[in-house]
Amino acid sequence: MGLFMYQISSDLICRTINDSMVIITPWNNTLHTISSTGVMIVQGLIDGKSLQAIQEEIVDQFDVSETEAEEDLNLFVDQLIHAKIFYKEGK
């Protein structure tokens, strides 16, 4: 996992509802619904946590292997970047 910092895009509309999150990307009028696991990942990225730290939280909270947590985390973060909800900064 690289030495990247992840920044949330500034033009988003975000609301947490119970343990889910709704994100609206106004530039393409898309509504994204994020599950409780996704909220944990998004909040970790907002808080500046490394992917490794977020991965460890996933392994601790859910009955998954480190490999499965890493694969799922990387896939989800790639989806967030593709949707332009987050962008990478750094090396």
The predicted-structure confidence for 24-70, as pLDDT tens digits, reads as follows 999 999 999 999 999 999 999 999 999 999 999 999 999 899 999 99
Residue 88, H or E segment: strand 86-90
The structure's pTM equals 0.88
Q: How many beta carbons lie within 10 A of that of residue 69, not counting itself?
A: 19
What mean pLDDT do residues 4-31 have? Answer: 91
pLDDT in the model for residue 5: 85
pLDDT in the model for residue 4: 75
pLDDT in the model for residue 90: 73
CATH number of 4-90: 3.90.930
Measured CA distances, 68 to 1, 4, 53, 71, 88 (Å) = 14, 21, 15, 5, 22
